[in-house]
Amino acid sequence: MRFAAPAALVLLGIAVMATPAAQPPAAVSAEDARLANFFQSYLDQQFRLHPVYATQQGNHDHDDRMDDLSPAARAKDVELTRKTLADVKKEIDPKKLSRDGRIDFEVFTHSLDYSLWSVANDNRFEFDPRVYGEFLTDSVFLLFTQSTLPRERNVQNAAKRVAAVPQVVAAAKAGLKNPPKILTEVTIRRNKGAIAFYEKDIWEFAGETPGSEPLATPCRAAVAALKDYQTWLETDLLPRSTGEWRLGEAKFAKKLELELDAGLTAAEVLKLAEGEADRVEREMYYVAKQLWSKLFPGRVLPPDDADGRRATTAAVLAELGKDHGKPENLLADVRKTVDGIRTFIREKKILTLPDPDTCKIVEMPEFQRGFSAAYLNPAPPLDPKADSLYAVAPPPRDWSAERVATFFREYNTPMLQVLTIHEAYPGHYVQLAYSNRCPSLVRKVLSSGVFAEGWAVYTEQMMLDQGYGAGDLSLRLHQLKFYLRAVLNAILDHRMHCAGMTDEQALALLMGRGFQTEAEAVAKVARAKQSSTQLSTYFVGRTAFYRLRQDVQRRRGDGFVLGTFHEQVLSHGTLPVKYLPELVR
């Protein structure tokens, strides 16, 4: 499941998330201080130019303003990024930096390079109408859910930001060219949620009386603008949404290199994932075979060949999938998983949990749905006492009863536990709470999705290996299925964007090899069309963490302490995984 949603918006179209945790600082050179000052000045400028980005990062000096998203303003952003990259290379001498300083320098310059590449090759403001929705709704939603300012101040700021909704709609109309059809379709559904948000939901989030000022007047104007936008999306943009969602082999290879920053090529990732998928399938069969006689007493185990092994695993998963809740209880069921998981972490000394705990489990707003079933939006790095949101999306209201049933067969009782481990404890929420302690501003603001997703996937197996679930084979089988999903993500990502994989072939991969229900597989195929390279981060990151753990454990021998290892890993921030071996050994 994806890490961060609204907090991963950004100026030039790449994701910027939250980073690092605390460790005794190394000696700081004068050049380190120069780099820190340079980055602070850069960030201050970005916050002035991009108020929504400032809010996402936890700076509330500009919460009453909206970004200028016009094509002219965005062109100036590109020139500023190009100038910043040239200036930092001219003004900072990497040879004079400490090792930590050099890492910060490399992270910063890599982020600028990636931004420039994205604008030239993968510009969301031209081909992805969803990006404007982040300013139309998420920019206001964040003020009510992830700001520690007084409520009254947030309401005043929100009213001014809502007043800017018509200008964002105008920027969308001016900026969008010929997006892929699927992105326009998702935007049409989300925009309906945006209209509902300003018509009624905003009052509950704001803690205000419905229809009261200062929100009433700008909300009426916003609703009018969004309804006009809805008509434009459906009658103007949708008919000309003929853009290609496939990135293509050359662009995919370069973007993956930039996204991973791990020294791996696209071909190498694909080869590793294909081998790992075979291994995980075999492990799933060994577990399923042990459950067979309990679930199907008297029934003969299928033959021990490729088809028989797959049939065994599929039948066992289908039977176990009947243990699930109801749509109206989804949030309550997720909350039930939390206490037992946190207790286990404390008792087994997996690591020290954040205190106070500021993770809230919420229903995903309708205007954010259509990408994944859950996300963790962490407390902003510059407002770390704010809430983190573990958001879960119930099945859409227009789904048939059968499709809803397949959703819950996928997100059944054991799978919800694995989901909570990944998204919250000790996955994204815990890791990013550690991350927000880092003294480096560079690492607080610029972070690696490979690290974040890799850690979350690593913790799923690690928790069960340490005894969570007391040997429950159903839980183990679902953990393996969840991990196989991460492996297949990388294969799907590559083949759909580089090899012309059809929807039918993708569904066969996910439902056949991945044992996913049809509803989950259809949603994942749609997600692969809505993004590129992000689906590869789970597998690559998990592989890095797993190999690091094995290496460090072998080196330390009897002196290896799991909790200590975990806290050392998290102490350096959410930085590219290529740095971990030198930092943790």
Mean pLDDT (whole number) for 46-51: 98
Q: What are phi and psi of 48, to 5 degrees?
A: -65, -40
Whether 1 shows a pLDDT value over 60: the answer reads: no
Query: In which band, very low, low, confident or very high, does the pLDDT at 395 lie, cut at 50, 70 and 90?
Result: confident
For residue 363, what are the β-bridge partners? 392
Secondary structure class of 397 (helix, strand, coil): coil
* Identity of the amino acid at 529: K
Q: How many CB atoms lie within 10 A of CB 363?
A: 13
Give the other-Cβ count within 10 Å of 255's Cβ.
24
Strands 2-3 and 374-377, sheet pairing: parallel
Read off the pLDDT band of 499 (50, 70, 90).
Answer: very high
* 2 and 420 Cβ atoms separated by less than 8 Å: no
Instruction: Specify the range with the lowest mean pLDDT, choosing from 171-180, 394-403, 408-417, 450-459.
Output: 394-403
Considering the domain boundaries, does residue 315 fall inside one?
A: no
Q: What is the mean pLDDT of residues 21-41?
A: 78
Identify the domain containing residue 71 by its residue range: 2-245
Domain presence at residue 452: no
Peptide bond into 396 cis (omega under 30): no
- Is residue 151 included in any domain, yes or no? yes
In a domain, 145, yes or no: yes
Q: Name which of 291-300, 344-353, 365-374 the model is least confident about.
A: 365-374
For 541-571, the pLDDT digits (tens) are 999 999 999 999 999 999 999 999 999 999 9
Per-residue pLDDT at 377 = 92
Please give the pLDDT value at position 15: 33
Please report, to the nearest 10 degrees, the dihedral formed by the alpha carbons of residues 128, 130, 135, 138 taken in order.
-150
The yes-or-no verdict on residue 449 having pLDDT over 80 is yes
User: Residue 152 domain-assigned?
Assistant: yes
pLDDT value for 9: 29
Q: Provide mean pLDDT across the span 426-441.
A: 94
Nearby residues of 406 by Cβ (< 8 Å), 6 or more positions away: 517, 518, 519, 520
**pLDDT attached to residue 399:** 79
Task: For residues 243 and 180, give the distance between their C-alpha atoms in angstroms, rounded to a whole number.
Answer: 4
Per-residue pLDDT band for 23 (boundaries 50, 70, 90) equals very low
Tell which wins on pLDDT, 499 or 585.
499
Rounded distance between C-alpha atoms, residue 71 and residue 51, angstroms: 17
pLDDT for res 16: 32
DSSP string, 437-477: T-S-HHHHHS--HHHHHHHHHHHHHHHHHTTTTTT-HHHHH
**Burial of residue 7 (number of CB atoms within 10 Å: 0-12, 13-18, 19+):** buried
Give per-residue pLDDT as tens, 520-530: 899 899 999 99
Q: Report the range of poorest mean pLDDT among 92-106, 268-282, 515-529.
A: 515-529
Question: Mean pLDDT over all residues of the chain?
Answer: 93
pLDDT band for position 370 (50/70/90)?
Answer: low
236-279 pLDDT per residue, tens: 999 999 999 999 999 999 999 999 999 999 999 999 999 999 99
What's the pLDDT at 19?
32
Sheet holding 374-377, edge to edge: 2-3, 374-377, 388-392, 359-363
Tally Cβ neighbours within 10 Å of residue 528. 24
The total domain count for the chain is 1
Entry field: residues in the chain: 585
Provide the pLDDT for residue 27: 56
Average pLDDT, stretch 298-309?
A: 96
Measured torsion, CA atoms of residues 354, 357, 363, 368, in degrees rounded to the nearest 10: -50
pLDDT value, residue 394: 86
Do the domain assignments include residue 483?
Answer: no
Compute the average pLDDT of residues 152-161. Answer: 98
